[in-house]
Every structure is written in structure tokens, then in C-alpha cells.
Amino acid sequence: MTDKHLVSKKHKIIDTQRITLIVAGLLLIVKFVAYFLTHSNTILTDALESIVNVVAGAFGLFSVLVAALPKDQNHPYGHGKIEFVSAAVEGVLILMAGILIVIKSAYNLQFPVPVHDIDQGIMIVSLAGLINFGLGIYVERQGKDAGSMVLIASAEHLKSDGYSTLAMLIGLAFVWYSGWLWLDSVIAIVFGFIIGIAGFRVINSAMSGIMDEVDYQLVDEIVEILNEDRHPECIDIHNLRIIKYGMDLHFDCHMTIPWYFNTQQAHDEVDRFEKLLRSKTDKEVEFFVHIDPCVPECCKSCIKKDCKERIFEFEKEVEWCPQNIMLNKKHNV
């Protein structure tokens, strides 16, 4: 991908996060209006989650602005890791909101507050929920297209907010028709737990990125690319590591080539490998490739037919897969 396209994608991420923050701010006001009209704990649950949306959206916007900064002397890998920090903060805020909702609603089970004008509250929250869910679909599409952890985390939160709003509305309808005011607090407690679990999941996902946990789906995609365009001079790829820095990817690997290649031939093979992966991904990619010379045992799986230094006869090609390409050893039959 060209530098121009990468810059355009980063601007799109920033613009999407700005829209998310503005909409979250407006919906926060709308939901608190609905709460003050009704004094419903269920609606308060939705409003408190919107506070999380605004705070997380503000921090998310800050993080994508920082992540878009170019690499510098103090940050040779760029600033993309802040996206995982942002997602972790959002997860903590979601978890805290869930806990506060449970505490407040449990208190109101013992000391109930009269609920009124539920029909108006239902209409207001319904509109807010639809907007939230629609925004979540849009942000998710933009996040997946750009490979942005911040946008994907925001989208998951917005969509879950939409789903929880729908379920809350069903509960409010029961309260409205039955007159059982205690049910309002029970519904809020249930969704407090659901929101807390969602927050924990976001934290777990963010920590996986911070700790450079293997993304096996990404490894599968890279292995498929390498198998489809396998070059005879590249005898094997092993010790593969892929590290995410926001939108950017950093590759570490060992490449085995014929032992008799000179420096220029080795460089050409590495260059071909890098160009292949850059052409097949929509992210900025950086490579650190260590060259290994082949050993006699490699002959048994080497597909280079014109090798004059072959010691053993070819037996079979070893297909690359995540299980062998990530091991720190040459592939043998």
C-alpha cells in the first residue's frame, strides 16, 4: 500500500472516532433527559453506559491522533501501541459502569424510587438505541477496513449498547404494563452484570495486544500468501513473529536460502519476500529478516530443481503452516 493510501486511512480512522465522540455526547444528554423524566433505574443504566461512551470516545480520539504520528527516535516502532492502551481504558470504564449500576440498583430494591412517564422514556431511549446500533455497524466496518483496535473496541461497545437497550426496553414495557416497580431494579442489575462482562472482555482483548499474543487468524493469512507464491530459492521460513503496532505490522523471521548465494542474491530474495507481503496487505509493514544457509538435511524438502550442490534426493515438499513456520528451526522431512 502506498504512503498516500496509508495517510488517507489514518485520517479516516480519526474522522470516524470524531463522529463517534460527537454522537456519544448527544446521546448522553438524551438518555439523561429520559432518566429525569422517569427516574427509572433501567434508563439510568443506559445513561451511565453513555458516560463511558463519551469518556472512552475522547480517549480513543486522543489515542488515534497519537497512533497516527510518524516514527521518531524515541518510538522507532511508531506510536500504534497506544490503541491497545485506549481499548484497555475503555474496558475498565465499561466494567466500572457495570459495577456501579449493580450497586445502585441493588440499593433501590431496598429503597425503591417511584417510576413515572415510562412511555415517554421508552420512546426516547428507543431512538437513542437505534442510533447507537447503527453507529456501531458503521464504526465496525471502518475499524475492520483500517485494522484499528480502537474503532473495533468502540464498535463492539456501541453494538452491545444497542442490544442491551433493546432488552431494557422490553423490560420497561413489562414494568409499564404490570406496575411491578421492583422489576425495574432487577432488570438494571442483570444488565449491570452483562455490561461488566463486556468490559472484562474488552480488557482481555486489549491486554492480548499489549502482551503481543499471537493472532492466529493473521498468521493463517500470511502462511496462505507464502504458500501460494512459494519461491524455490526460499527453502523455508521459520521463527516467524508478527507484532502489531496499531495499524502497522512488524515481521521477524528466519529465511533459509542456498548456502552458496552471495550477498546480492540473498538481498534479492529478502526483497522479493518483503514486496510479496506488502502487496497482499493493507497495512504498513516492517521486516527484520535473518538469513540462514541451508544444510544437507534441507535437500530432502528443497524444491529448487537446478541446484548443483544437492547432497540428498528430494523426497517431499513441506507445506508451511502456523505450527511449523513459527518454530525456531529449519523444516525437515
Domains of the chain (ranges plus CATH)? 3-210 (1.20.1510.10), 216-325 (3.30.70.1350)
Give the CA dihedral 65, 71, 72, 77, nearest 10 degrees: 110
The residue assigned the cell 483500517 is: 146
CB-based contacts of 325, cutoff 8 Å, min separation 6:
219, 223, 226, 237, 238, 240
Question: Shortest CA distance to 258 belongs to which of 230, 295, 288, 289?
Answer: 295
The pLDDT tens digits of the residues spanning 79-121 come to 878 878 878 887 888 788 778 778 877 877 777 766 666 777 7
C-alpha cell at 312: 540428498
The pLDDT tens digits of the residues spanning 63-76 come to 888 877 888 888 88
The pLDDT tens digits of the residues spanning 134-185 come to 888 888 888 877 767 677 777 877 777 777 677 667 777 777 777 777 777 7
Question: What is the CA angle 227-228-232, rounded to 5?
Answer: 65
Q: Residue 80 has what pLDDT?
A: 78
C-alpha cell at 231: 519461491
C-alpha cell at 298: 534441507
State the average pLDDT for the chain: 82
Model confidence at 239: pLDDT above 90: yes
Go through the chain and tell me how many residues it has. 333
Between 270 and 167, whose confidence is greater?
A: 270
Question: Shortest CA distance to 94 belongs to which of 50, 30, 143?
Answer: 50
| Residue 33 identity | V
Query: Against a cut of 0.75, is the pTM above it?
Result: no
3-state secondary structure of 238: strand
Q: Where residue 237 falls among pLDDT bands split at 50, 70, 90? A: very high
3-state secondary structure of 265: helix
Read off the pLDDT of each residue in 245-274 and give the average, rounded to a whole number: 90
